[in-house]
Amino acid sequence: MLLRQVLHLNKPYFSVSRFRHENRFSTNDVKKNVDCSKFTGLYPNYLDFSKQFDASSREEFSRDMRVLDNFVTEDEETSLVEELSPVLNELHYEFDHWDDAIHGFRETERLKWNDDNMKIINRVRRIAFPPNSGHLYLVHVLDLAKDGHIKPHIDSIRVIDCVF
């Protein structure tokens, strides 16, 4: 699990909700919630675009996305993994997602967290969602196998409701 980098999209590119809430996220919302000086610039070295992603699409995507380096510390990552491992270790990796978007994954949803991890979850929520926005209280946890992957896709509104 790579938890120390959080992607923040000003426009939720991969969500059906983008069609109903195109202006839901704004640069001003981000500036209120996080120190923007910590943002990485265009084309961070860990972004690998498909050859089919043309230059203007790469630029647009990079403009509307920010990566917060070390958003979760190593100790926090360890704490999250320790809490989730007993649950995830009971599950087998799946290779047949209902919409063929994810391969080699295990997933669960979690409502209750220990106090330290709840602070991390709340920090993610403060930065990922605009103030006073509704969000699902269950946290969706997805663990990819070493050879697992997520294909580009638009999430189903039946799964994500109105927030991605």
Has this prediction a pTM greater than 0.75? no
pLDDT in tens, 84-126: 999 999 999 998 877 778 899 999 999 999 999 999 999 988 8
What's residue 117's pLDDT? Answer: 96
Confidence tier at 29 by pLDDT (50, 70, 90)? very low
* 50 band by pLDDT with thresholds 50, 70 and 90: confident
Strand partners, 94: 105
Domains present along the chain, CATH in parentheses: 6-157 (2.60.120)
The closest of 36, 56, 29 to 125, measured between CA atoms, is 29
Q: What is the pLDDT of residue 157?
A: 59
What band does 30 get if pLDDT is binned at 50, 70 and 90?
A: very low
CA quadruple 78, 120, 160, 112: dihedral positive or negative?
positive
